[in-house]
Each structure stands twice: as C-alpha cells, then as structure tokens.
Amino acid sequence: MFGMGMTLVPKDFSRIIKFPKAVLVGLTNQLIFLPIIGFLLAITFDLNPTMAVGLMILATCPGGPTSNLITQVCKGNIALSVTLTAITSIISILTIPFILSYVLDYFGTETNATIKLPILDTILQIMVITVIPISIGMLVRKFKTSFAKRMERPMRLASTLIFILVFIAVIAANFEMIGTGMKEVGLVTLALNILTMGIGYLTARLFQLDLKNAISITVESGIQNGTLAFVIATTILKNVEMGIPIGAYSVWMFVTGGVLMWQLGKRKEAKS
C-alpha cells in the first residue's frame, strides 16, 4: 500500500470524483452483479445448502487489499481500485447481512446466528491497512518525487513477491480444505471467478472506459476478501464447511490474478 501511494497524486482521486462513471460501473459489478451471478450458479449447479451459502458469503464480500496489489502490478488505475475497495467495504456492512439472511432462508440452512458486521472495526481496518500507508506514500511522492519514481519498478516487483508468498501461505494453511473444495465446488467457484471478471471487463468497455479503468474493475469484480468471507462462515455462522467454497475460490482468484499480472504487468504503461 505504501508502494502504491508513491505512484499516486491527489489529482488521481479528484479525477474519479469529477468523472464518477468508472466508480459507478465498478460498484454495480461488485454489489449487484456478483451476488446475482453467485446465486444463479448455486442454483444451476444444484449445490447443497451448505455449499450454496458458502458460495454466497464469498459473492457478497468486497474486494480486499489483494485486489489493489494485483491492480498495481497489472498497471491499472490504482486510485480507482483503492476507492472501490474502500466504498464496497463500507457498503457491505449493510448488504452482507441483508443478502445472507435471504440466502439462509432460501436454501433452508438452519442457523440462529445474527449476521452483524462490526462497523468500527471495518472502518479501522480500512484506515490502518489502506488509507494510512497510501497517504504516507503520497507524501513521499510529493516531497521526494524523484525517489518515488525510481522506486516504482522495485515496489511493483516487491508486490509480485508478496503476492506469491501469500498464495503459498493460503495453500499451506488450508491444504485439506482446498483439496475438498476443489472436488466438491472447484468448477462452480472457477465459473464464478471467470464470469465476474469477464462481466467486469465487458461492462467497463461497454461504458467506454479506458484500459486502466477496465483492469481495475475487472480485478475488483473477481478478487474477493476471502479472509472476511471465512470469518463470516466460521465465526458468525459457526460452520466450517461453509468455508470450503471460499478456500477453493481463493486458489482460483490467485491463479487468475497471477495470469493477469503476468500478461498485463509486462506491457508499457498507458496513461488514462
């Protein structure tokens, strides 16, 4: 996040406020299309109630810091990615309980848990993980511009290394669950990932957004906050099995995210 901040200037964010079309397209994909696609896939693949709810938990979650990291390496619009992550994280405090209450009732999963996400903790997490380090990076860019520009490539390489290490850690920590998940819901989670990314890109292009914005929306549409999803499944709903689709999806999103980083990261930087 600090590295991202060193590539940003205030006008990157003011441009988003001035021309909000990209934000609106991104929010529509994340908050409306993603849950609908997840719901339709759960029905189409005739998932059992536990797997269906697990898939829907994931589909209701916002993007996380990983989506910002992937966007940076892919040379997308980092300011847009960070903005979408922050806004969806706040809005999802309201949308997750609403959607999951319906889903639990629809699929007939018996649970008496109250789905309530901590507002203060969510805002604090966004501040500590995203806003503060990016702000410090932007200050460095303002007062040490030449240093910040020299550090762009090394920081992008560092982000790639972090991405690989996190991927290995996710596999190692959830090896058993991921194996089970791939057998039971591997295909449906891959379909969710590819469809959401594909629709993210198509809608961005349909509304005539440039490549940098399209990359950000594509990544934000398909890279979910798996940690939050797992916490909802295991801590709030107290059902470890619901975490199985989340584990499977985590693998796919790292694979597709890695492919995007490999293909888009080597292209020449394009201005918005």
Query: Could you read off the pLDDT of 91-107 as tens digits, one per residue?
Result: 888 888 888 888 888 88
Q: What are phi and psi of 69, to 5 degrees?
A: -65, -45
Nearest of 250, 249, 220 to residue 74 by alpha carbon: 220
**Band of residue 272 on the pLDDT scale cut at 50, 70, 90:** very low
pTM of the model: 0.82
Q: Which fold has domain 2-264?
A: Na+/H+ antiporter like fold (1.20.1530)
pLDDT tens column, 171-190? 787 777 778 788 889 899 99
Residue 75 has phi, psi (to 5 degrees) of: 60, 40
Q: Is the pLDDT of residue 224 over 80?
A: yes
Residue 146: pLDDT over 60: yes
Residue-wise DSSP of 90-141: HHHHHHHHHHHHHHHHHHT----------HHHHHHHHIIIIIHHHHHHHHHH
Separation of CA 13 from chain center: 19
Q: Tokens 């957004």, residue?
A: 209
| Domain ranges for the chain | 2-264
pLDDT of residue 270: 52
Q: What residues have CB less than 8 Å from 81, skipping those under 6 apart? A: 63, 67, 68, 71, 72, 216, 219, 220
Answer whether residue 113 shows pLDDT above 70.
Answer: no
> Both tokens of residue 125?
């997490």
In the structure, what pLDDT confidence band is assigned to residue 114 with cuts at 50, 70 and 90? low
